[in-house]
Structures are given as structure tokens and as C-alpha cells.
Amino acid sequence: MIVTLKPGAEVSRVLGELAARGLWVSALERAPGEPALLLVAPHSAQVDPRELGGIEGVLGVAAPKPQHPRVTAQRARVTVAGVPIGGGAEPVWMCGPCSVESEQHARELAEQLRPLGVLFLRGGAFKPRTSPYAFQGHGEPALGWLRRAADATGMRVVTEALGEEHVAPVAEHADMVQVGSRNMQSFALLKAVGRAGKPVLLKRGMAATVEEWLLAGEYLLQHGAPVVVFCERGIRSFDASTRNLIDLGAVALLSHVYHQPVIVDPSHAAGRRDLVAPLARAAIAAGAAGLMVETHADPAHALSDGPQALPLAELARLVGEIKRGQPDGGVS
């Protein structure tokens, strides 16, 4: 944003007025006689350009063109398969295993999750794995397992479409199509997922800016998605003591400034089971509309990512803490 001053304006006074509104500003050099220009930095608080126009000494305000009108139009609370997400609704839970392992496995887990208040069953049918030799998921059959487990228990299904060829089967079985962080800017996939006309869960890329994330959401909405829910899952870290680096500043920004429905996946963010609960609580406090938590009845036998899966008893405790708004008994 650029603020143009009137000739003779008292620059220091205008600078103070802008600082008072949370704006970081730098003055630019101009030829004598030309109106002074003030450049507002991107990490400033959000203000309405029209408000600035009213400050004494301000001639005009130039702002960047809106980049993602469809995302902007989708404010705060959305509804996915009858479940309200964001905008003050009760936090939504999306739980389940990294990989779906069998029909029985999905069914038993759903029966244990639903009574806790978990409304979305998540689980991988197609798995994005760094190595081609790692388990790639059970594929299409696992979609049916998820669907039937959810139907039997009154849950919804969210699962990932890894490529364009998976979009149709995933959209057929799931209530919400997930786009993974490695595909956040796979634009052909975004278009295909958008065209499927289903609500989308869009994970943030590992080094994506908030602006790029919102623009990826814009791709989805432009191509037909009725709703996009954003999901922070940690960005690339230089510190090996956590698997990824959870960016709750981005969550607060999406929630409080852009008024978007955003949930957090603390399991992938930390990679450490011993940090899932405090980071889940922090995510809700930062403005998250819900949580995606990897859960497994028996992490010792999970087909993938067992070390970060939360056993059911710990999940039950965490759900209770979030409901009451505080940790379970003293400092955890």
C-alpha cells in the first residue's frame, strides 16, 4: 500500500497516525515539489484504505488489486456435509490413521472415535510417500472401507486425492477431498479437484507463503469447489528436534485477518507425540476452527507414521481438554 501526502503535509504527524494504526511505513525520496510517498510494509496490521484517506495531510491511498476475490467472499463459517466449520462454531475434529489398513480397522476406529465427538473420519487410501519403495496405501478399496465405516457411525469422510486420476473415486466416496501439502501448487490437480464440486481441505505447502496458500484456494473455488478449508501442518524446519515447524502466526492471520476457516494438524507439525496435545491447544487459542489428529488404536502396528499417532485414550483426554478450554489437571 502506498500513501500519497498532500503538498505541505506534516510528514511526522502522518507517520504517527499510521503507526497508531499498526502500519510499518518507510518514506521514499522524491524530487522537490513532488508529493511525498509513504510505502506500507506487508507485515503491517490490516486497515481499510478508506480509513487512511481520512487522515489529515493524506492525499490518496493506492492498494494492490485483490488477488483472491472468491476466497475473500468465503468468510469465516462454512458448512461441510452439514457440519459448520469456523466462525465461532465448536472445534471440529478430523481423526483416524495415517493409512487405512482394513475394512475392520476403519470400522472399529470409527466406532471408537464417534462417541468422543469426532465428526470426520480421516485416513489415507493413497499415500504420498517420499520413497517409491514405501507402502503406498491400499488405494481404491480403502475408500469404500472409509465410506462404510463413516456411514455406520454417522461420520463424514475426508481423504486425499494424490493425483488427477484419483479425484473421481475420492469425490465419489468422500465428503471432503484433501489436497496434500506436496501438491498445494500442483495446479492441474487443483483444477481437477475444483471441478469435482466437493468441499476441499487444502494443506499448506512446506514452504508456501500465506498469499500462495490463499491463491491455491482461489484455484479450487474458481474451478468449482463450493468450500475450501485451509489446514496448517507445519513448514520445513532447520531444527531436527521437531519434524516440521508449526506456524501458528499463519493460522492467526487466516483466522483473524482473512476470516477463513482454518484447521491445524499438530501430528505432522511436530512429529512428536509428546507435543501433540499442547500444540493442539495452542492451535485452538490461535484461532483454528478444528484439529486433524492422527490416531491409532495400536500405534505399535500402524502401517505408517505410528510414532506420531495418538493412542485413543490420549485423544479422548485431549478432546475433553479442548472442550473445557484448559489442560486436564494442572500443568500437563
Does 265 bind a copy of itself (CB under 8 A)? Our answer is no
When binding is defined by CB under 8 A, the residue of 95, 125, 192, 263 that contacts a copy of itself is 192
Q: Give 35 or 141: the residue with its C-beta nearer to a copy of itself.
A: 35
What does DSSP say about strands 83-85 and 78-80: parallel, antiparallel, or unpaired?
antiparallel
Q: Give 21 or 107: the residue with its C-beta nearer to a copy of itself.
A: 21
Its sign, for the CA torsion 207, 211, 217, 218, is negative
Which amino acid is located at 4 in the chain?
A: T
Question: What Rg do the C-alpha atoms of the chain give, in angstroms?
Answer: 23
When binding is defined by CB under 8 A, the residue of 247, 267, 292, 295 that contacts a copy of itself is 247
How many CB atoms within 10 Å of residue 187?
Answer: 12
Q: Give 4 or 72: the residue with its C-beta nearer to a copy of itself.
A: 4
Does 302 bind a copy of itself (CB under 8 A)? Our answer is yes
Contact predicate 250/204, CB 8 Å = yes
Between CA 155 and CA 161 the distance in angstroms is 19
Does 140 bind a copy of itself (CB under 8 A)? Our answer is no
CB 252 to a copy of itself: min, Å:
4
Contact predicate 120/199, CB 8 Å = no
When binding is defined by CB under 8 A, the residue of 7, 11, 30, 54 that contacts a copy of itself is 30
Does 203 bind a copy of itself (CB under 8 A)? Our answer is no
Q: Which residues pair with 228 in a beta bridge?
A: 200
CB 155 to a copy of itself: min, Å:
26
Contact predicate 266/280, CB 8 Å = yes
Does 260 bind a copy of itself (CB under 8 A)? Our answer is no
- DSSP code for 89: P
CB 169 to a copy of itself: min, Å:
13
Does 313 bind a copy of itself (CB under 8 A)? Our answer is no
Between CA 40 and CA 14 the distance in angstroms is 12
How many CB atoms within 10 Å of residue 19?
Answer: 12
C-alpha triplet 56, 61, 64: angle, nearest 5°: 160
Piece of the chain touching a copy of itself by CB under 8 A; list 29-37, 96-104, 105-113, 145-153: 29-37
Between CA 165 and CA 142 the distance in angstroms is 16
CB 83 to a copy of itself: min, Å:
18
- Reported as type and span, the H/E element at residue 122 is strand 120-122
- Give me the 217-236 binding string for a copy of itself, x by CB under 8 A, dash otherwise: -xx--xx----------xxx
Nearest CA to 177 out of 150, 199, 148, 151 is that of 199
When binding is defined by CB under 8 A, the residue of 11, 152, 168, 257 that contacts a copy of itself is 257
Q: Give 155 or 287: the residue with its C-beta nearer to a copy of itself.
A: 287
Residues 142 to 181: which contact a copy of itself by CB under 8 A? 162-166
Does 74 bind a copy of itself (CB under 8 A)? Our answer is no
Q: Give 55 or 83: the residue with its C-beta nearer to a copy of itself.
A: 55
Residues 106 to 125: which contact a copy of itself by CB under 8 A? none
When binding is defined by CB under 8 A, the residue of 67, 75, 172, 323 that contacts a copy of itself is 67
C-alpha triplet 302, 303, 308: angle, nearest 5°: 50
When binding is defined by CB under 8 A, the residue of 6, 37, 81, 112 that contacts a copy of itself is 37
Does 90 bind a copy of itself (CB under 8 A)? Our answer is no
